[in-house]
């Protein structure tokens, strides 16, 4: 497996695409909804030492990935709420690598998993409601580092991909650890 395949087991996300069809977005929301269950299947029976497995040399451990997922998806939930309640809000970027070095990334994964369950329950229901009002999918947030606004439809697609990509990382770390 080459480096690109290891980094992006779900394929690379097309960050330039913004013209999503409702059926595509419905599939993305269903992936977001199913994500905690898919993660649970991977973690079922995991041994404590396996949490330190990496999917490639220098990558995050499985434990770090789980904590990252909770942080990233909490940020995505917040961005969703902001763009639905404010006009083109400026979001706060965050350095995921610095967060991954934090003390809390050494804690047991269960609290982050429970966060994901709660976030995804509320988030997927909200997103399903948004699909019923397609004009909401055009609402945007502004990313100051990218100096660009992004619509809710893009955020939905990004985080459906994000979850799948990290599930791929965990699968690799469990089957072909470094």
Interatomic CA distance for residues 13 and 27, integer angstroms:
15
Helix axis angle, 110-131 to 22-43, nearest 10°? 160
Q: Give pLDDT tens digits for 122-172.
A: 999 999 999 999 999 999 999 999 999 999 999 999 999 999 999 999 999
Domains of the chain in sequence order: 31-42+71-178 (1.20.120.450)
How far is it, in rounded angstroms, from Cα 87 to Cα 177?
Answer: 45
Cβ–Cβ < 8 Å for 113, 69: no
pTM above 0.85, yes or no: yes
- Taking the alpha carbons of 90, 86, 114, 174 in that order, is the dihedral positive or negative? negative
Retrieve residue 156's tokens.
């939905």
Per-residue pLDDT tens over the stretch 44-71: 999 999 999 999 999 999 999 999 999 9
């Amino acid at each position: 497996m080459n480096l690109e395949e290891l980094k992006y087991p779900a394929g690379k996300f097309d960050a330039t695409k913004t013209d999503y069809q409702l059926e595509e977005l419905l599939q993305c929301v269903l992936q977001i909804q199913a994500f905690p269950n898919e993660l649970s299947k991977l973690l079922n029976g995991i041994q404590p030492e396996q949490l330190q497995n990496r999917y490639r040399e220098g990558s995050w451990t499985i434990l770090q990935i789980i904590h990252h997922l909770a942080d990233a998806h909490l940020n995505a939930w917040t961005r969703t709420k902001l763009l639905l309640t404010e006009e083109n809000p400026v979001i706060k970027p965050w350095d995921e690598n610095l967060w991954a070095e934090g003390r809390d990334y050494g804690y047991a994964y269960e609290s982050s998993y429970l966060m994901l369950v709660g976030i995804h329950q509320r988030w997927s229901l909200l997103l399903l409601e948004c699909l019923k009002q397609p004009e909401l999918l055009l609402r945007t947030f502004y990313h100051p580092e990218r100096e660009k606004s992004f619509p809710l439809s893009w955020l939905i697609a990004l985080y459906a991909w994000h979850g799948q990509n990290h599930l791929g990382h965990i699968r690799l770390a469990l089957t072909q650890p470094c």
